[in-house]
Structure 1
């Protein structure tokens, strides 16, 4: 039996104040929160919070060709990153009101890679930076036919400039071992695939027959 569970839950934290301090392409809020402490009393803190919402990222795997379809695009937050601001990433998108993660994965896969994704399944949900952002990531995987995985994609009205790459799974594993995959979603997904490759590959062959 696993020996850890959190001592507190959401009911042990009270949002006293939530004030929007910036609303542009993104939103920044100032929060005042009172929460329980491990000492047995309470603590009131003020924090700036990047209100990002929920997003979906999807690992696109062609089990027949044993390739992964990934995208490359510019990221302003990576201007000072060791490998530069053009990142190799998973297809991803924000969840709009009323959408399911699966619907977003299907839409974004078509918009960003030109492909249709099949048999979507969850890998893991996670918080990428909970100290200052409320974003929740739904990390999924699905199967694709990578035969036409090429070219430039993205929506011009959203400022997207996306190049599609179709890489052998073994080469992506090598990029990971070299430290050249440098954003959370792709690292988590590729590490997961590395651990579960035989099972996922077999399931993909059965699903894509």
Structure 2
């Protein structure tokens, strides 16, 4: 039996009695999320574009790749292009799917679609009123160093950057 606990603008929380694969029953709390897309924007000079974004839940600012929630009936590719343009002011001409990851599979169904974005065209940043973002453009190698030095701590960004780095090296983009 599924019971609604909370419905907000981003998440929907339920409590559900379930039968597990071993035949036992238990009650689980579940967070339903519409999903998201995230992009590693790579410029022709080998630099990646990150955001330094205020995140209240973490108590400060995080370095991240541009990302955002899927709108209703929006496909992940369109979301990736839209969010990159809104957050960093670049239109992505070419998207390459890197992966689709679960963020917290123990209690949440959110899937983030990760992409490498190239063929960038400068447009204009269009932030939502609740977004506090500084754009950071750095050599890809420096972004990888930020991961090693624990300056990038956001999981989607770490995974996205590592997958994109490998792919960009393979394609000789960096």
Give yes or no for the alignment of 1:47 onto 2:28: yes
With CA pairs under 8 Å and 6+ residues apart, which has the higher RCO, 1 or 2?
A: 2
User: How many angstroms apart in 2 are the aligned matches of 1:165 and 1:22?
Assistant: 36
3-state SS of paired residue (1:105): helix
TM-score by length of 2: 0.90
1:117 counterpart SS class: strand
- Counterpart of 1:75 (choices 42, 55, 62) is 55
RMSD over aligned CA atoms reads: 2.0
Q: Which structure 2 segments of 5+ residues have no match?
A: none
Q: Is 1:60 aligned with 2:41?
A: yes
The alignment of Structure 1 onto Structure 2 pairs a total of residues equal to 173
What TM-score, normalized to structure 1?
A: 0.76
1:12 counterpart residue number? none
Higher-strand-fraction structure = 2
How much does 1:153 deviate? 5.0
Q: Give, in angstroms, the shift of residue 139 of structure 1.
A: 0.8
Which residue number corresponds to residue 124 of structure 1?
99
Higher helix share: 1
Which of these two proteins has the greater Rg computed from alpha carbons? 1
Whether the aligned pair in 2 keeps the contact of 1:35 and 1:43 (CA below 8 Å) is yes
Looking at structure 2, the residues matched to 107 and 196 of structure 1 have their Cα atoms a distance apart, in angstroms, of: 22
Q: Distance in 2 between matches of 1:68 and 1:201?
A: 15
Secondary structure of the structure 2 residue equivalent to 1:65: coil
Match of 1:154? Answer: 127
Q: How does 1:158-177 map to 2 (within 5 A)?
A: 159-177=130-148
Task: Say if 2:153 is the partner of 1:182.
Answer: yes
Unaligned residue ranges in structure 1 (runs of 5+): 1-16, 80-84, 205-209
Equivalent residues of 1:153, 1:164 under 8 A apart: no
Would you identify which runs of 4 or more consecutive aligned residues in structure 1 move more than 6 Å? Answer: none
